[in-house]
Chains A and B, each alone.
Chain A
Amino acid sequence: MYVHAYVLQFYTSTQLCKMRKNIPAKKAIIIACLISIFGSAKSQTDQDAIMMTKNNFCTGLMNVGNSWNSYWEGTFKRTNDNIGTISTKGWSVMGNYGVKDNLNLLFGLPYLKTNASKGVLHSQQGIQDLSLWLKWMPLEKDLGKGIFAIYTLGGVSIPATNYISDYLPLSIGMKSKTLSGRLLLDYQQGDFFVTASETYTLRSNISIERNSYFTTNFILSDKVQMPNANVAGLRAGYRTSKWIIEGLLYDMKTLGGFDITKNNMPFPSNKMNSTFAGINLKYEIEKISGLSLTGGVSKVLKGRNVGQSVSYNAGVFYILDFSPKKKKTIKKEETTTQKN
């Protein structure tokens, strides 16, 4: 029923701001303002030993949401007046720390609230899953007229609170711990780029509140085996140091899982497949060095046991530089800004 958990992970890993120049001292007041807005972001980074290093740390807050009123019950597309439109809204705190020029550590932590526009089912809300990614660029080289780069990413996500997963479509997440590996290939020529990625996610078994359930057979346990997932994605568009305008197309699949039977309730270990397309924008505000705005929309084109959701996100990010002044090397950072 559900795509936002994945979508948030994509943003964490692919849409954060880049390393950049040092923050001019006169902008200190703006940093202070931003940090006070991101109350939780600040406390996150304060607890992070990595923050004490010499490099850049980009952090920000993103408003996220999605809604749908039709969904696929197996392959049968329908609406349901007992739930009306299901919407999820929330905020996500994100950060990206540059360990090295080619090694980043990223995190994301969303707070979500769900709602059904009709019927009598209670909404759910809470902090969902903390995700952490290590992003490494082992190769970047000139190829033809452009630059080709390989990125490999490893990520984990862990439920940050004891929320309820077996309450779909209104639960805020699946409550599975995940371990992901991603290969990402990027080619940029001039101001245009294309990025292809493939992600494999292992999902741990979950515990639910009841101690028996029916999938395709009856299981006397409160443990649920979750299917692993696979995501293939393609992004392409215009990318400069000031603007990114990109189109995206993603296909995600659970590897296994079962269909919702007719007029049944959804279940966390359902097969959940979807293909979605969208647009992302990113704009670096020139006047305030290090400040960028992001936004995006996407729509599920085709799915199975998921809602046909339209998702949006809008974020503001700022870069803090923690490297000692004497070590700054402006030139290198300019190059990186062109890439990702």
Chain B
Amino acid sequence: MKKILHTILFISLAISFSQCKKEINGRTDELSPLNPASTDLQAGTWKTVLLTRPDTFSVAIPAATNSANYLAELNEIKGYQSNLTAEQNDQIKYWAAGGVLRWNELMRELVAKYNLPPYQNADGTYPIPSSANPFAYPLFPFANPPYAARAYAYIAAAQYDALVACWHYKKLYNRPAPFMVDATIKTQVSQSALPSYPSEAAVLAGVTSEMMKLFFPTEIANIQMKAEAHERSALMSGAATRSDIVAGEALGRQIANVFIAKAKVDNAGKAVGTSTDWSALENNTRAKGEIPWISLESPKRPPMLPLYGKVTPFLFDTATVTALRPGPPPSTSSDQMKKETEEVYNYVKNPTKENNRIVLFWADGVGTCTPPGHWNAIAAEDFIKKNYSEVRWARNMALLNMALMDAAIVCWNTKYYYFNPRPAQLDPRIKTLTGTPNFPAYISGHSTFSGAAAAVLGYMIPERASAYSAMAEEASKSRLVGGIHYRADCEVGLKVGASVGAYAVNRGKGDGCQ
């Protein structure tokens, strides 16, 4: 008896303890330094997004590597290196994995942190976050999927243009990295023949922190600390001197302002609409003989960014948005709609474990980095394995995120053009396996985002194309089996997304990056 008890107790304890390992390591916590397969020295000629020329903003001729000023800069690096703390080494290692990667991860973190719908007022209305008063509740921004898609796209595109300009000057001035000039400087990063003036780390730090002023104003102080950490890591690692850093940051900030100027007039500021706009949507839909979308939240929340469909896209013009908008969903009074609603009900009546799993895996709802962020994570984790240069990383992230933003524009344009209800509105028996988004159903945002992302990533990494398609299909299906969308929303959404993605692919084919 005793033996049996002891055995049971021992086994139980062993099982528990073996599962009790507490520290969680993120998938990208321990990466090797980025070691590009190519320096992409010609990237200064790649086609930019908004800059008309790579040298629109001038960068001064750097001091020669045998000048007194330069030698003094080398001494600063040696000073750091003679006394590196464990924490500084960790920072060097963190940023050495890739600046575009780390800033993309930080963006996803901010989106997740700010992706929270405002809490209602006492009278049942909802406050609207204000960029003019960002620290007051509700904090600005509410980083919902369209907001996030636009933020990711602007920042990625600005980083790309800034690095193209950076590469232009690197090639032009051809000043070698400090560790190439002075053999006593140890490098903590991969050694590459890429000229270090201006520093790509500082360009990224400058352009990104400047863009954040627009997109995450309450985080400027935190972002500035990250930017300084990024630059200091480049310096301490022996990859860049002080003048490489100073020139890079200034260039990055100037280029950011080109993108900020566009963002201020791209109509996103008007996307919330007014109560007149909201009721017009409802009345117009009724006038067409269709059941209009109604918020399923309580108190009823105004629809999310109803005028986002009018935001100026990156990859095509506004007329193309209309052209890409698909035909109507099945009429709310049609047999087809009845059939599709019944299909949704049958999926959620007794959900399977596997369906539940994919719903939660792809949910990307409140408090997450959104579906565009999820696709950024998928992309980033594959890009890590490709050993891209920073400028190629930026180019690929820019193409992906411009496609995701433009997919959001076409999707939102479609949603508010048809304004059709969610399955749970038409059939109250339908209970959903994740939160129901507060905007019309047709077409599915997840499907549109995923169709676009799979097209772009499949072009960049052809050997993974079928894997990306399968992921997109699963993401799309997750909304049907989760009770959020009808089949038509998902199928048409995937197609529209793929069409948007094709614009990014075409751009990529002609941008000079081979």
In the complex, the answer to whether A261 meets B116 with C-beta atoms within 8 Å is yes
A262 to B348, CA, bound (A): 29
Given contacts A121-B432, A214-B112, contact A224 B24 (CB under 8 A): yes
Contact of B436 among A53, A99, A120 (CB under 8 A): A120
In the complex, the answer to whether B368 meets A213 with C-beta atoms within 8 Å is yes
B111 nearest CB across to chain A (Å)? 9
In the complex, the answer to whether B113 meets A225 with C-beta atoms within 8 Å is no
A interface, size bucket: 35 or more
Contact of A221 among B25, B105, B108, B367 (CB under 8 A): B25
Given contacts A81-B299, A99-B5, contact A202 B432 (CB under 8 A): no
Contact of A179 among B20, B22, B374, B435 (CB under 8 A): B20
In the complex, the answer to whether B12 meets A156 with C-beta atoms within 8 Å is yes
A322 nearest CB across to chain B (Å)? 12
In the complex, the answer to whether A154 meets B363 with C-beta atoms within 8 Å is no
A203 nearest CB across to chain B (Å)? 8
Query: Does any Cβ of B come within 8 Å of A32's Cβ?
Result: no
Query: Does any Cβ of A come within 8 Å of B23's Cβ?
Result: yes
In the complex, the answer to whether B20 meets A209 with C-beta atoms within 8 Å is no
Query: Does any Cβ of B come within 8 Å of A211's Cβ?
Result: yes
A311 nearest CB across to chain B (Å)? 24
B interface, size bucket: 35 or more
Interface centre among B20, B109, B360, B424 (most CB of A within 10 A): B20
Given contacts A122-B432, A122-B433, A209-B357, contact A218 B9 (CB under 8 A): no
A153 to B231, CA, bound (A): 55
Contact of B26 among A118, A123, A202, A219 (CB under 8 A): A219
Query: Does any Cβ of A come within 8 Å of B57's Cβ?
Result: no
- B112 proximity list for chain A (CB < 8 A): 212-214, 218
- B4 proximity list for chain A (CB < 8 A): 49-50
A265 to B112, CA, bound (A): 12
A178 to B360, CA, bound (A): 24
In the complex, the answer to whether B1 meets A53 with C-beta atoms within 8 Å is yes
B314 nearest CB across to chain A (Å)? 26
Within 8 A of A (CB), among B396-449: 424, 430-433, 435-436
- A265 proximity list for chain B (CB < 8 A): 365-367, 435
Interface centre among A81, A82, A123, A212 (most CB of B within 10 A): A212
In the complex, the answer to whether B119 meets A263 with C-beta atoms within 8 Å is yes
A105 to B27, CA, bound (A): 41
Contact bitstring B287-311, A, C-beta under 8 A = 1, else 0:
0000000001111000000000000
In the complex, the answer to whether B360 meets A177 with C-beta atoms within 8 Å is no
- A264 proximity list for chain B (CB < 8 A): 116, 366-367
Query: Does any Cβ of A come within 8 Å of B82's Cβ?
Result: no
A166 to B377, CA, bound (A): 20
- B22 proximity list for chain A (CB < 8 A): 205, 225
- A210 proximity list for chain B (CB < 8 A): 360-361, 363-364, 368
In the complex, the answer to whether B436 meets A179 with C-beta atoms within 8 Å is no
A221 nearest CB across to chain B (Å)? 5
In the complex, the answer to whether A179 meets B21 with C-beta atoms within 8 Å is no
In the complex, the answer to whether B24 meets A217 with C-beta atoms within 8 Å is no
Within 8 A of B (CB), among A214-233: 214, 217-221, 223-225
* Nearest A-chain residue to B428, judged by Cβ: A120
B117 nearest CB across to chain A (Å)? 6
Query: Does any Cβ of B come within 8 Å of A248's Cβ?
Result: no
Given contacts A121-B431, A177-B15, contact A221 B26 (CB under 8 A): yes
A226 nearest CB across to chain B (Å)? 9
Given contacts A177-B15, A204-B19, A209-B360, contact A122 B431 (CB under 8 A): yes
- B8 proximity list for chain A (CB < 8 A): 132
Query: Does any Cβ of B come within 8 Å of A150's Cβ?
Result: no
Query: Does any Cβ of A come within 8 Å of B369's Cβ?
Result: yes
A111 nearest CB across to chain B (Å)? 17
- B353 proximity list for chain A (CB < 8 A): 162
Contact of A225 among B23, B299, B365 (CB under 8 A): B23
In the complex, the answer to whether B432 meets A120 with C-beta atoms within 8 Å is yes
Query: Does any Cβ of B come within 8 Å of A119's Cβ?
Result: yes
**What are 15 pairs between A and B in contact, CB < 8 Å?**
A81-B298, A119-B296, A119-B298, A120-B296, A121-B432, A132-B8, A156-B16, A158-B15, A204-B19, A205-B22, A209-B361, A213-B112, A218-B113, A220-B377, A263-B117
Given A121-B432, A214-B109, A218-B113, 18 more A-B residue pairs with CB atoms under 8 Å apart are A50-B1, A82-B297, A134-B9, A156-B13, A202-B20, A204-B20, A205-B20, A205-B21, A209-B357, A214-B367, A214-B369, A221-B24, A225-B22, A262-B119, A263-B116, A263-B117, A264-B367, A265-B366
Q: Which positions in A face B, CB cutoff 8 Å?
A: 49-50, 53, 81-82, 99, 105, 118-123, 132, 134, 154, 156, 158, 162, 164, 166-167, 177-179, 202, 204-205, 208-214, 217-221, 223-225, 261-265
9 nearest A-B residue pairs (beta carbon): A218-B109, A209-B360, A81-B298, A214-B112, A204-B19, A220-B26, A122-B431, A179-B16, A156-B12
